[in-house]
Amino acid sequence: MQIIIQKIVSLFTAVIMFLVPAANIPKAEIDKSAFNTDYTYVFVHGLSGWGSYAFYYDIFPYWGILGGNLMKYLSARGIDCAAASVAPSDSTWDRVCELYAQLTGTRVDYGKEHSGRCGHDRYGTDYSKKPLIDKWDSENKINLFGHSFGGATIRMLATLMAYGSEEEQAVTDENEISGLFTGGKEDWIYSITTLASPHNGTTAYLVGHGVEDNGGTIPEVLETKVMFFASRENPDGRIFEDSASYDMDIDGAAHLNEKIKTIPGIYYFSYACSMSYQDEDGTWVADTNGMEPLFVNSAKLIVKYTGVTPEGTVLDESWQENDGLVNTISAKAPFNAPQKEYEAGSVEPGEWNIMPVYHGDHMSLQGGLLMTNNVRPFYIEHITMINSL
């Protein structure tokens, strides 16, 4: 049902795209004179998102939205890129299996152990006739961009490519196991960039429980999050732990981070977004001027929320700055990963480079939804930096 709703909303917005002229976005060009690499860029969408395999992608691209198709724009400037299409609300693991199959032109294999434990089919779509990219190996590496929940997807992909899965290897015949689970492919990925990704979960699940707002009580049910968060009841019978909802919960994200590793040979970059500011008394306030209407209510809730998760994680005032859906502190880097603030000229693989916080809401780096944001210069600058390493 959620997928159907998502498609209806997407198609409805596509109609808006034809009725509302796209902004006159200035051109931004790429100077390749300083490039040391020129690998393919693969873009992975977030929750409730879609990619190039969706039949409506060409008229309503996730990457660019009303501002125009970012993939076409970059391709026209000599940057090889592609937009993946993974399950809108499934778990990180399932999305990774789908991404791997698209990149390798194979049939989706969710794993014998995983599918049996989680209660769903082992095999999915066969991409052998329509792979996402032409070639992928240690000589033909890829750079990965992940927006929102797409960040966890590309991080887990890198982990499995490098180390495989002992659980899958233990129960699967070597002649039928997916190459995703055998490891030894850590040098197939050159860089990872996450955009507004809830590495450590988001308190958007938790807000609205007796929080005071200008003398009134904020409603306990936040309607807007229905569009972004999967139900805790999976209609196909799979367990809740095998869902996006679990992986983006604060405690669920902590468990996920225990499984995901930072690979020594990969360059890591993260962009957190913020539409919040601190008042004179130090309290955080949601900056709703120019924010997508979809995020206004949740932004106001998150800046007021403090609490403790069921497993004991303290959510203090440091969690209140947000982009309307994801806490800024969560989007900077996984708490358990090596990390530092980005400094030009001192980028090393195997550690997260935390980029300057981007002033914008959760969809700003995607190009905006109803409010067009010119992200072309942003991507050209970042791609140029990566290719110049």
pLDDT digits (tens, 9 = 90+) for 306-355: 999 999 999 999 999 999 999 999 999 999 999 999 999 999 999 999 99
CA distance 253 to 190: 24
Q: Using pLDDT thresholds of 50, 70 and 90, give the confidence band for residue 225.
A: very low
* Complete domains list, the chain, with CATH: 2-20+37-387 (3.40.50.1820)
* pLDDT value, residue 207: 58
pLDDT digits (tens, 9 = 90+) for 164-222: 999 999 999 999 999 999 999 999 999 999 999 999 999 987 754 433 343 333 333 33
Which of 45-49, 214-218, 242-246, 258-262 bottoms out in mean pLDDT, i.e. has the lowest? 214-218
Of 357, 223, 340, nearest to 293 by C-alpha is: 223
Average pLDDT of the chain?
A: 88
Would you give the distance in Å from CA 373 to the centre of its chain? Answer: 18
| Percent of the chain at pLDDT exceeding 90 | 78
Most confident residue range from 6-15, 64-73, 217-226 = 64-73
CA distances from 114 to 80, 136, 165, 238, 256 (A): 33, 25, 10, 11, 15
